[in-house]
Chain A
Amino acid sequence: MTDRTRLPVFRALLASVLGLAVVFSLTACASQPDAATDAPGGEAGEPATEPTRVILASTTSTQDSGLFDDLIPAFEAAYPEYAVEVIAVGTGEALEMGRNKDADVLLVHAKADEETFVAEGFGTERRDVCYNDFVFVGAEGDPAGVGAAVDLNAAMTAIASGEAAYVSRGDDSGTHKKEKKLFESAGIEPAGDWYLVSGQGMGETLKIASEKQGYTLSDRATYLSMLEALDLAIVREGDEGLLNQYGVIPVTDARNPDGARAFMEWVTSAEGQAVIGAYGVETFGAPLFFPNAE
């Protein structure tokens, strides 16, 4: 038994085999609800019921980064009684889905809005999960000198020089909010021919920036995952103001409150945090997300 808990791969395998067994109604016994506290004897300990749906509202940038392809199966392996469905929308719609109780749990990245959301009673609590960082990308050669600017404010001024286009997401997403904040603190009201507003997700916005050979602000994960399809280079990175904190919030009175809670607990647990920290290492040679749950 100790070997089983120590080997996540084995456990995931076993859980999926057991999951299949459940689907084919080969088990008649429903003695224990939780596979993590599974009793010896294999399938005897599995719940015979179908997994219940947990609706996770998250952002398109998180979805586009591919993190969920690792994270969700790992969670479902640890908690086979839940099946997670990810709805990837903008942060604005994710929060709206939470307000309408169309989602059970949120994983988004707009800390101030998330705290308001919880303060207004729409979420039970909010926990830090991980962070990644934003990077400025642009045409090779950085025509406006965004990278050479002394600080972020100077970088925003360089972007606003109109030397090249800047493609804004303009969709109230976490990334758009970050951009607005950066322009604001530089005292710039972005407008003009150089300022294009796509109103779309990160992937589409990066493609537009690439075609127009303009700048945009992107989370590193989405940029790296699309690298092959883009003619864009990172022109500025590493500033403190470019960090992007993710939080998890179970929705108050959700349809599946237990599932929402389990997801929050797991994603902030050592196991969940390890999955997050490992994501991207194999493909990109470096982690894309840095776990920082308390």
Chain B
Amino acid sequence: MQIFADALRDGIAAFSQGTIDVWGIVWTSLQTSGTAVFFSLFLGIPAGFFLGTRRFVGRRLLITIANTGMGLPPVAVGLIVAMTLSRRGPLGDLDLLYTRPAMVMAQVIIALPIVAAVTAAAVGAVPREVRLQARSLGASRIHEAILTLAEARLGLVAAVAAGFGQIISEVGAVTMVGGNLEGSTRVMTTAIVQFTRMGKYGPALALSAVLLGLIFLVNVLLAAGQHSADRFERT
């Protein structure tokens, strides 16, 4: 266990000396993953709602595709996005490879099926009578959707947690499309890989602790949201 204690002490020392721009790296992680989660929710919740509540031909197939998408290998996503954005690729003129927007793009593709599938499951669990009653009382389609999503909010929180947890911990795709460039696309996971490769186990371990702490914090916040939602329900 000595090796961990030593490494952690080294890492904290390296951080406090300011030789490594830890907060810059953490901030880049939060910015890219936060933006990606926002877009995933923006697209994934309506898609999930649609899948979970509407009956139409091919629905089962789409749900299966979304569920498969939850297990989409991030490296495959990274590879395809990188090839698409490369100078020789179809979107090469955009000059986006090795930039933050490229990372957000890949992360949205990774998180979107997760958000959609979890949302679909959550709204699917809301009793159909709730929606029918709302409609019979004169609610519009939009109102009906809002009501259903409010009923399914616990599941939606799970969708946020799952999507965010997946992309902030992901390393393969963000390396391929971001390039781990210092001060622009270096995020916590890519920095951890780099420090490990360089034999700097200290900063790598300390940064892993920060990453773990951050995911924990986000889940505490989400759980708090869930809890207050719970209380709201009982009163």
Contact = CB atoms under 8 A, between A and B. Distances in A.
Interface residues of A, number: 24
Contacts of B179: 198, 200, 204, 208
Interface residues of B, number: 22
Given A196-B182, A199-B191, A212-B98, A96 B199 contact: yes
Nearest to A168: B182
Nearest to A197: B182
Contacts of B175: 200, 204
A198 B190 CA distance: 10
B28 interface: no
Contact of A198 (B87, B181, B199): B181
A90 interface: yes
Nearest to B179: A208
B83 to A, nearest CB: 11
Given A211-B98, A231-B87, A200 B182 contact: no
A90 B88 CA distance: 29
A93 B196 contact: yes
A28 to B, nearest CB: 43
A90 B198 contact: yes
A210 interface: yes
A172 interface: yes
B87 A211 contact: yes
A170 B182 contact: yes
A199 B199 contact: no
A171 B194 contact: yes
A95 interface: yes
Contacts of A78: none
B198 A171 contact: yes
Contacts of B181: 196-199, 208
A211 B180 contact: no
9 contacts: A90-B197, A92-B198, A96-B199, A97-B199, A171-B198, A196-B182, A199-B181, A200-B180, A231-B88
B8 to A, nearest CB: 16
B180 A199 contact: yes
A89 interface: yes
Tell me if B's interface is mostly helix, strand, loop or mixed: loop
Contacts of A200: 175, 179-180, 194
B86 interface: yes
Nearest to B186: A199
Interface string B184-200: 10100011001011111
Nearest to A195: B182
A83 to B, nearest CB: 24
A211 B199 contact: no
Contacts of A196: 181-182, 184
A197 B179 CA distance: 9
B190 A199 contact: yes
A271 to B, nearest CB: 32
B199 A90 contact: yes
A97 to B, nearest CB: 7
A210 B191 CA distance: 22
Nearest to B176: A204
Given A96-B199, A196-B184, A199-B182, 16 more contacts: A60-B197, A92-B200, A93-B197, A94-B199, A97-B199, A170-B182, A171-B194, A172-B199, A198-B179, A199-B190, A200-B179, A201-B197, A208-B98, A210-B87, A211-B97, A231-B88
Contacts of A93: 196-199
A231 B184 CA distance: 23
Nearest to A60: B197
Contacts of B184: 196
A278 to B, nearest CB: 30
Contact of B180 (A60, A92, A172, A198): A198
B197 to A, nearest CB: 5
A249 to B, nearest CB: 15
